[in-house]
């Protein structure tokens, strides 16, 4: 941990602490996969709808894995945030896995389940951004913004699983997963946590 000059109080020491290297690599790798899958869905809307749903479910699975990794290894994360990230990440993985395991169900139903995985991801991101005061302000804002967007889109999909049309719903979800992938990469490349504590002197 590297000490930096305290901004105000002389008896306060600040340190910059990185996430574990494996976590940062995982965030960049998973974020890259999420972005690629999202771009494929947006670029080839004419692909069979079940193929699109499977690609989106894989992207949501990657996002759920990243949430669990954050809950386990992110530095300076409160206990409640760790529990929320692990629990909601696990739920996202379960719902995404169900979608991948039963491709013969109706497309609207699969999109409906995918929306719940997106909802859990959004709640986890808001919880991390709202509870953890030690992470940088821009990243907290990014987390909360992506979380709010995820919840809003998932709510739209859950409320209108059929009337908006499955292709449109899939495209909307893929846009959100694309933004989420960008956030994951940004976190992996530049994650720092500002730790504040009182010095002993």
Q: Of 78-82, 85-89, 104-108, 125-129, which gets the smallest average pLDDT?
A: 104-108
Assign 10 a pLDDT band (cuts: 50, 70, 90): very low
* Residue 77 clears pLDDT 80, i.e. is over it: no
Residue 15: phi, psi to the nearest 5? -135, 150
* Residue 74 clears pLDDT 80, i.e. is over it: no
pLDDT of residue 43: 87
Total-model pTM = 0.70
pLDDT in tens, 41-69: 888 876 767 788 888 888 889 989 988 98
pLDDT of residue 76: 60
Q: Provide DSSP, 122-177.
A: HHHHHHHHHH-TTB-HHHHHHHHHHHHHHHHHHHHHHH-TTTT-HHHHHHHHHHHH
Domain spans of the chain?
19-198
Q: What is the mean pLDDT of the chain?
A: 78
Strand 2-4 with 12-18, pairing: antiparallel
The CA-CA-CA angle for residues 19, 96, 21, to 5°, reads 15
Structure token pair of residue 49: 């709808």
Q: Which residues pair with 4 in a beta bridge?
A: 14
Cα end-to-end distance, the chain, whole Å? 19
Pair 97, 43: CB distance under 8 Å: no
pLDDT of residue 5: 47
Assign 17 a pLDDT band (cuts: 50, 70, 90): low
């Amino acid at each position: 941990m590297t000490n930096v000059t305290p901004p105000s109080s002389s008896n306060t020491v600040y340190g910059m602490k990185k996430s574990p290297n494996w976590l940062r690599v995982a965030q960049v790798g998973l974020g890259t996969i999420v972005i690629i899958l999202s771009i494929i869905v947006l670029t080839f809307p004419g692909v069979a709808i079940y193929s699109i749903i499977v690609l989106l479910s894989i992207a949501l699975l990657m996002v759920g894995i990243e949430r669990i990794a954050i809950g386990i290894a992110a530095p300076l994360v409160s206990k409640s945030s760790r529990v929320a990230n692990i629990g909601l990440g696990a739920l996202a993985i379960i719902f995404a896995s169900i979608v991948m395991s039963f491709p013969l169900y109706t497309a609207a139903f699969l999109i409906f389940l995918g929306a719940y995985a997106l909802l859990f991801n959004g709640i986890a991101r808001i919880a991390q951004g709202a509870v953890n005061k030690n992470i940088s302000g821009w990243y907290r804002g990014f987390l909360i913004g992506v979380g709010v967007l995820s919840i809003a889109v998932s709510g739209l999909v859950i409320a209108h699983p059929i009337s908006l049309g499955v292709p449109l719903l899939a495209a909307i979800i893929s846009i959100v997963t694309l933004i989420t992938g960008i956030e994951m990469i940004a976190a992996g490349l530049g994650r720092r946590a500002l730790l504040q504590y009182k010095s002993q002197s």
